[in-house]
């Protein structure tokens, strides 16, 4: 599917709506250039899961883990940012891959194209492209 977003709010709200359809065990890979809206999309997903904590991109720590309290089947929201990742083994070393197959966990990965070889086959990819002007994005999911 394709969605044209004209603002951060529209990107956020699309992801928030999509969160209602997420089931545990899903891995969502976000692909897009700098400033495309990957973190905004992640914040929308978290809001859709009723996560109250402020979501910040884990660019330097690679991974942040948030508890999910409103859903019976989803207990954990894992946010990974592979932008500064030097080698895939670093992500494996911090235990990130262990979350990929947990049925009570949602894993969202910014810059997922950098770690495609280790992602589960069932990973749902969302590509965000800046189009027309700096405020318009095409979101393919």
- CATH homologous superfamily for the domain 23-115: P-loop containing nucleotide triphosphate hydrolases (3.40.50.300)
Residues of the chain with pLDDT under 70: 132
| Chain centre distance of CA 39 | 7
Q: Can you give the pLDDT at residue 72? A: 76
Q: Taking the alpha carbons of 64, 68, 69, 72 in that order, is the dihedral positive or negative?
A: negative
pTM: 0.93
- Burial bucket for residue 20 (CB in 10 Å: 0-12, 13-18, 19+): exposed
Q: Can you give the pLDDT at residue 132? A: 64
Cβ proximity of 58 and 79 under 8 Å: yes
Domain layout of the chain by residue ranges: 23-115
């Amino acid at each position: 599917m394709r969605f044209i977003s004209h603002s951060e709010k529209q990107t956020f709200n699309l992801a928030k709506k999509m969160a209602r359809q997420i089931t545990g065990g899903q891995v969502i890979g976000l692909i897009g250039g700098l400033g495309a809206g990957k973190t905004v999309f992640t914040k929308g997903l978290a809001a859709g899961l009723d996560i109250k904590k402020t979501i910040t991109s884990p660019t330097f720590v690679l991974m942040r883990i948030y508890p999910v309290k409103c859903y019976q089947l989803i207990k954990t929201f894992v946010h990974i940012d592979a932008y500064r990742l030097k080698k895939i083994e670093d992500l494996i070393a911090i235990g990130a891959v262990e979350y990929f197959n947990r049925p009570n966990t949602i894993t969202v990965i910014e810059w997922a194209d950098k770690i495609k070889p280790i992602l589960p086959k069932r990973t749902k990819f969302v590509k965000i492209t800046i189009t027309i002007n700096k405020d318009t994005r095409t979101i393919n999911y």
